[in-house]
Every structure is written in structure tokens, then in C-alpha cells.
Amino acid sequence: LLRRAADALAAMGVGEPAFRVFERLQALSARKAAAMDGPLPPAFLRVLTAGSSNAETFVEQGRKAAAEFHRLACDWGRPLSPRDRVLEFGCGCGRVARWWLDLCPARFDGCDVQGRLIDWCAQNLRGEYRLTLLDPPLPYEAASFDLIYALSVFTHMREPGAVAWLAEMARVLKPGGLALLTFQDDRLPAAAALQPGLSETGFAVRRRGAEGRNLLAGYFTAEGFAARAGPGLELLHVTPSDASAQGQAVAVFRRRAGV
Ligand SMILES: C[S@@+](CC[C@H](N)C(=O)[O-])C[C@H]1O[C@@H](n2cnc3c(N)ncnc32)[C@H](O)[C@@H]1O
């Protein structure tokens, strides 16, 4: 029902302001969270990050996502040591990072375009957190990272943004480094309404909204996502959305050397 309401409001051109009100209302009506391990971000930050204020889901989805990213990193890469460097691109208020940090000893950086989310991470989680801009470049040197992961960030971009950010992932990855990036694929039920355009072009937008905010919902085919990655990234593997623990497809790219 909420998804249909968001679709209808977006079609009427008032999607973004209505969605902001909806996000605030969700946070205000949040149930009190049960006591849990580790610091829990306030309800509004959980809404901005996860699209819901539910604390238990926030914790559980983050745990599953971190475990899946870690497994993919081990399967397609090499074990990471404290000398290696990992970036979470679009880290929100640390839904995944809070678990990732226990799984991987590498040095950790997180970045996001929303200052209040970055501030919460910096005050509550281990790692370096930076507020970044909606457009590239990131404030990191070329070839800085051994691994980058991003959950539900390319999901909220238009096509030019996705192309530019995929190129930026390639720039900041070391040769041989991995990028684990989720995207909404054509196996998700909501993608049916976007056919045949989605299959023809490899990308379609379902709900229009501000770039980088959760109302905007983009979908790719696996081939379409890979095609927009450019020559610097080689696609090694895609876990489709219906086989992923994250509810979105996960693409595993490797940074090509010398490109
Ligand atoms: C749906 S939330 C997911 C947050 C986090 N990855 C998670 O799954 O818990 C999308 C996040 O991506 C961030 N974001 C969107 N566009 C971005 C960009 N161009 N650069 C960095 N962060 C971005 C948003 O601010 C938001 O925190």
C-alpha cells in the first residue's frame, strides 16, 4: 500500500516533499526498541538508512548484508589484513558497518552524502567517516582501497549518476581490488511494471525523486549494470536478488590493472 501511495504521489509530482513527511512520520511512530548489543541509531536515522524505523529489522538486515559481503569478498578475493583498506560507499548510519567491523580486520572508511548519518557513525563506530558529495570525485587518492562495498546506493541513482559512480569506484580501487555493489534487478516483482523498457535498455527508473534519496528507485538488468561499469571494472559474478540475503542483486567487480 505504501509503495503504491509513493508511486501515485511521485506521478503527481509531489513525491519528494510527501516522502520527506512520510519519513518523519515513520520515525515518530517507531516502537521502542528492545535492548540490543551495540549502539542503536535514532529512529529517524534508521528510516533514512533502511527505509523503516524497525530496530530489529535494521539490526538483522545489517548482519545478513555484512555476512554476505564478507563471504563474497572471501570467495572472489583474498583474506584481508589490517594493512588492507575497505570503503563502505553510502554507509548510512552504519547498518552494515556495525557488523562488518567485527568480521574484517582491515582499516575501514565509510562515506555518505548525509551529514547526520556520517556524524552518528563517527561518534559511535570504529573507522574513518567522511561526508562526500552527490557527484564524484570522492576525497580519496586513486588506488586507495582493496575492497569497496555498497548496499542500496546505486539503487537510488539515475543512469548518469550510476555511470559516473561506477567509474569512480574503479578510480579509488587498487588494481585487483573488488567492488561489491548491490542493485535492484529485473527479478524483483516491482520490475515487471518497467518491462519491456528495462530489458531493452538495461536500466529503468520506477519512482522519480531527488538523486541519492530513497524515493528514487532505479532498476538494472545484470547485463545493464555491467555495461555501465566501463573498462576499469571486470564483472566476476552476480548474485540475483532472489538468491541474495540483501533483497537486491549483488555484483562482484574486479579492478582491471592498466586500464
Ligand atoms: C538506502 S540507504 C542505504 C544505506 C546503507 N548502505 C545501508 O544499506 O544501510 C542509501 C544511502 O546511500 C547514500 N547515498 C546516496 N547517494 C550517494 C552518493 N552519491 N554518495 C554517497 N552516498 C550516497 C544515502 O545518503 C543513504 O545513506
**Measured in angstroms, how far is the CA atom of residue 51 from the centroid of ligand 1?**
11
Which candidate, 71, 41, 75, places its Cα nearest to that of 58?
Answer: 41
The whole-model pTM stands at 0.93
Q: Is 153 in the pocket of ligand 1 (CB under 6 A)?
A: yes
- Per-residue confidence (pLDDT) for residue 3, from 0 to 100: 62
What is the distance between the alpha carbons of residues 256 and 31, in angstroms, rounded to a whole number? 47
Residue 139: partners with Cβ closer than 8 Å, 6 or more residues away: 111, 130, 132
What is the distance between the alpha carbons of residues 230 and 106, in angstroms, rounded to a whole number? 27
C-alpha cell at 46: 534508521
- Per-residue confidence (pLDDT) for residue 10, from 0 to 100: 67
Q: Is 215 in the pocket of ligand 1 (CB under 6 A)?
A: no
List per-block mean pLDDT (blocks of 10 residues) for the chain, which spans 259 residues. 67 73 78 76 94 92 97 95 97 98 97 98 98 98 98 96 98 98 97 96 87 86 97 97 96 95
Measure Cα distances from 83 to 26, 69, 169, 217 in Å: 41, 19, 20, 36
- Per-residue confidence (pLDDT) for residue 6, from 0 to 100: 65
Taking each helix axis from N to C end, the angle separating 2-11 and 15-28, rounded to the nearest 10 degrees, works out to 150
Atom in ligand 1 nearest the alpha carbon of residue 150: 6
R_g of the chain computed on alpha carbons = 17
Q: What is the dihedral of CA 90, 94, 97, 102, to 10 degrees?
A: 170
Q: Is 142 in the pocket of ligand 1 (CB under 6 A)?
A: no
**Measured in angstroms, how far is the CA atom of residue 121 from the centroid of ligand 1?**
13
Strand stretches in 137-172, DSSP E: 145-150
C-alpha cell at 51: 527505509
Pocket test for ligand 1, best of 48, 58, 113 (most atoms within 8 A of CB): 113
Residue having the nearest C-alpha atom to atom 27 of ligand 1: 92
Q: State the sign of the Cα–Cα–Cα–Cα dihedral 165, 67, 192, 56.
A: negative
